[in-house]
Structure 1
């Protein structure tokens, strides 16, 4: 890669103008490139694909910036402008996929002389044209365009309602007994003597994990599980109807069939079979650990007959503390946010042969830190870390593209968006940080592709989580944690504590798998059948798959953001975990930094991006096809 400049972000006062200029400028460039290609189509397949690639780069540049800023920018006007830009990008992309003249140009070239990656790009382009409905009549294409526009608008409304609906509970200080002292210090009582707590993660997770008072935990669970209600119930009904019609118009029985066609799983019918397989595999472990929770709850409430949703995190923590000698409040004293962040950079730098060099650069908020990424002394990209909550910001944890890298054209730039405390972190949050950073590493390392389509995290969607899930393992290794996990006195986290933490984390993996399958079943079922009452159907699915009963009056689906982006494919988290466990089996548990296997994994799984099928990437790394064996063994431990 030649010496390329990072994208120059604007000062705060110029953000709105810059955003519009960036998005519309790149869209205008894409239009000009399309017009040029249609006006004078090259006869060479390579030349056609090069021009097609130029269009993809311009379109990607417009889309990446708008989708990021719609979720993170502190100024409402900029977020609104970004959503509007996303709509223009999506409309152009839809028009592109329905353009018969372009289809004729791309499909009409001879491909015999193309090198393998170009042939793969050509095949992918033709597949995407077909899935867009380019071969349908004019009336059908017009309806598909309308549907695509309405799906985007509806998805944006769904996400906006989640971002903006921050709920609160108010309790007395006594009702917060059990919470860590540093958390209590940061939540003083108001003039009325009560403490206000929000449904944002830095409040909700500690309260549901540590508060001794069951009514406080219940109030928080009820508030957390009704975010987006009732507005998003109607929004989801619209979204599911739009997707169902979209799939039907294209000749698919359900949206899940349409969506799964381009994933590793291959068919919508296979999703349900996978969900049931995991449900069966996890059954014995789930039953055993559920009974442990119930027995422990009965010590506090002798008449208890069920473990409620508001009990799960609390009693899981109690069991880990009492039966595994793991005190979450002690553990968190070793995970100061600043040290964890630097430790993550050191660990991943050593593992993947990278240097993260902090740079002074314009950013959209003072909390954001920018780093250039160097490999062998050569700059290969830039990352931004936006890790603390604020009003109007995306509420979960995810990696966003800012720029998708293309060899000798533009550097990959990615953004990690999370919502962590500024002080001490729960170890679960540390694991989440490692997980999400895995996406960022993947985005940067795979950013030297020739073809935009294969750049970054461009594998099949049900493989996307596997590299990140595997990176979580480094957040559980005593030797790794010893490099950055120290308390205020400078004492390193004891290895025997880390060992007990790992054993304690294994507690509950069965019922956690069942909970994941409940979410996956919701994701699938809502996209294959119409339900007049989504909450009623949610209750049925929870009774079938989850180990824990429905909490009366709640509506989890209205804040289940994955119903937009992942649609019917939430199963992919568990599918990816199966592969992640198999890939991790190739590493030496006694030396997770062993360079030979780490470099082989980096170069054969991460660097290729989407240039090969995910199954091929895994096979190239493992030397065999992936199996269920490692996952099944882990689940049975």
Structure 2
């Protein structure tokens, strides 16, 4: 039913991949000899070739992110050029492109809408890959694509190495006295008969000190190291930008932003910039009020000029004072397994699905949980969940799709699989993994992505699940699910004290909900700062570090509530755009958030969060359709109207 996760012969992946790719080329060559090509005899088998390659390569690339070692790096580096060259070669194959065009022209009236969408996407992507170009340009594009893949991996590895290289050792208890007990317990160690505390740049550890560290100089120390990580990435960024600019010029676009929008819901560059600036203008005054309130609060400690490394610390104190909210109070109620099981019950209640532990299933680590998902007592998907932070794991949280739901050429249904990876506080002997509420929100977010992929009912792999979904709306289902993590009824399903079993009381939950919009305008402006920097960075070629810094400074002058110190080199760690797929697309978070907020607002207006009818309509209209139709059409099918930006601003408390 499911392919098992098995990398026992990881070291031999290169030779196995070479064999798979060679066979795939032969199979495609054989398809190209078919005289009367049709969707059934050409597109379906071509689609399955792509799926079989993805099935093999995904775990190899995945293991390098979750269990990074010299071996995984070596294997990744061996396989990367093979897959990059293969993909470039296939995407530039004019014979495949013309075959798809012929099938589209000859059979258009007999194809169903999903098949039409597959062909439309594939033909567009072939054009974007340069299949119509002369041989010398194709050759250069192939070189560029390979180098960009390598640079992306180097950028990511530099960041991981820098993150793992630093430790801040503290001996003075006064410097750690405000740090929550569970974080402090994790940081504590004995050396030379003394109790000491170790803080690293791993996200749970870094957040613990930057948010609760009593010593301002120590806060700046860890902040400075964090924001100056991987200085060698400066040169990587310059090369990435130069190669991307060269690539899109060969393809006939004026800049990378224009090229990027070919696969987005947004149509024009001006549309994206206007959207971001409009949001920023609507939130700017509120953000100024929020920062003034924070400055006034910090004055109590004699801080006349609040700095970036003070923000988390004083924001947490102010939040605690305003809402009487203490993160540490909540954490015993968010024990990892309790949260997960309650979350599954919630998903069962609104979407009528069950999560059943697949105890025999193999995974990459003993702590990875594997579940089969059932609908009407029948298994239809599998999910791997890896939640705790570890040194060999890259930072952040993500969902990775492995298999897609589709029907193969023999009429057999293939079931989807996905991975969810997070970096939550680690469990330690005697101390379970106790989450912050922000971790709970992250889990809901990543599960939103996973459900979008796993709930698909689309029979074509190329547009099933998250495949074929426009990049600027792919965050819609993840952000939509996030909103439920602030609902009282939902929280009561799993917010139970890990020692006493006591359910989190109404008053504590109300505080959490009220505190949700604390500094929401500041958070929005920060996202817009990142998004504008990313988008404008790709509207023309920036050739030097000082030009890039100048662009970032200009955006900060216009939109940042507090200017960070000059040494802050945020861009060197901006892996979303330099080591992920978000280049000229970081605006997607806000673009998609408009859809997600508006969709959730329908639940608010219906006066019940467990609105089964509305949830099942969302499941059928959005989740089950995957990338088989454009999201603007699917949203209209669900909501019976266009999305409104005001729902987002209302939910965030920026407008009333």
Partner of 1:563: 577
Question: In 1, are the aligned partners of 2:594 and 2:648 still within 8 Å (CA)?
Answer: yes
Give the Cα separation in 2 of the matches to 1:542 and 1:280: 14
Give me the whole-angstrom Cα distance separating, in 1, the residues matched to 2:153 and 2:618.
36
Q: Render the CA deviation track for 1:89-126: whole Å, top value 9, x for unaligned.
A: 22211111111122222212312321221112111121
| Partner SS state of residue 386, structure 1 | strand
Equivalent residue, structure 1, for 2:32: 38
SS at match of 1:462: helix
Q: Provide the aligned C-alpha RMSD in A.
A: 1.9
CA distance in 2, matches of 1:531, 1:579: 36
Equivalent residues in 2 for 1:145-544, closer than 5 Å: 145-166=142-163, 167-172=166-171, 173-191=173-191, 193=194, 194-228=196-230, 230-301=231-302, 304-305=304-305, 307-359=306-358, 360-407=360-407, 408-421=412-425, 422=427, 423-446=433-456, 448-458=457-467, 459-487=469-497, 488-529=499-540, 530-532=542-544, 533=546, 534-544=548-558
Per-residue CA deviation, residues 332-369 of structure 1 (Å, 9 max, x unaligned), is 23211221122222222322211111112221111211
Alpha-carbon spacing, 1:195–1:536, altered in 2? closer, same or farther (3 Å): farther
Following the alignment from structure 2 to structure 1, what is the Cα–Cα distance between the partners of residues 240 and 570? Answer: 17
Contact 1:348 1:354 in 2 (8 A): yes
The answer (yes or no) to whether the contact 1:400–1:415 under 8 Å persists in 2 is yes
Query: In structure 2, how many angstroms separate the alpha carbons of the residues matched to 1:462 and 1:628?
Result: 15
**SS in structure 2 of the partner of residue 580 of structure 1:** helix
Q: TM-score, normalised by structure 2?
A: 0.92
Contact 2:399 2:421 in 1 (8 A): yes
Aligned residue for 2:37, secondary structure, equals coil
> 2:144–2:247: 8 Å Cα contact kept in structure 1?
yes
The answer as to whether partners of 1:63 and 1:86 remain within 8 angstroms in 2 is: no
| Structure 2 Cα separation of the partners of residues 275 and 211 of structure 1 | 34
1:369-407 deviation per Cα after TM superposition (whole angstroms, max 9, x unaligned): 111111111111111011112233221100012222223
Over 3 Å counting, the alpha-carbon distance change for 1:554 and 1:275 in structure 2 is same
Q: Which string of whole-angstrom CA distances, capped at 9 and with x for unpartnered residues, describes residues 437-489 of structure 1? A: 1111111112x422111121131111111111111111101111111102232
Partners of 2:396 and 2:422 within 8 A in 1:
yes
**Contact kept in structure 2, 1:73 and 1:79, CA below 8 Å:** no
CA distance in 2, matches of 1:85, 1:468: 31
Residue ranges of structure 1 left out of the alignment (5+ in a row): none
Aligned residue for 1:371, secondary structure, equals strand
1:130 aligns with 2:127: yes
Determine if contact 1:30/1:58 at 8 Å carries over to the other structure: no
User: Counterparts of 1:587 and 1:29 in 2: how far apart (Å)?
Assistant: 50
SS of equivalent residue, structure 2 residue 116: helix
Hey, what's the Cα distance between the residues in 1 that align with 2:512 and 2:366? 35
Q: Does the CA-based 8 Å contact 2:181-2:328 persist in structure 1?
A: no
What secondary structure sits across from 1:419 in the alignment? strand
1:636 matched to 2:655: yes
Match runs of 1:537-616 below 5 Å: 537-564=551-578, 565=580, 566-588=582-604, 590-616=607-633
CA contact (8 A) 1:42 1:48 kept: no
CA distance in 1, matches of 2:15, 2:389: 28
Indicate if the aligned counterparts of 1:387 and 1:417 stay in contact, CA closer than 8 A: yes
Query: Matches of 2:618 and 2:80 in 1, distance apart?
Result: 35
Contact 2:372 2:382 in 1 (8 A): yes
SS of the residue 1:256 aligns to = helix
8 Å Cα contact 2:175-2:213 kept in structure 1: yes
TM norm structure 1: 0.94
Tell me the CA shift for residue 524 of structure 1: 1.5
- Contact kept, 8 Å, 2:14 with 2:78, in 1: the verdict is no
Cα distance, 1:77 vs. partner? 1.0
- Compute the displacement of 1:551 (Å): 2.2
Distance 1:23 1:603, change over 3 A: farther
**Cα distance per residue 1:523-575 (max 9 Å; x no partner):** 11222230412344433322322212112322111111111320111111111
Instruction: State how many pairs are aligned.
Output: 627
- C-alpha separation in 1, matches of 2:191 and 2:39: 72
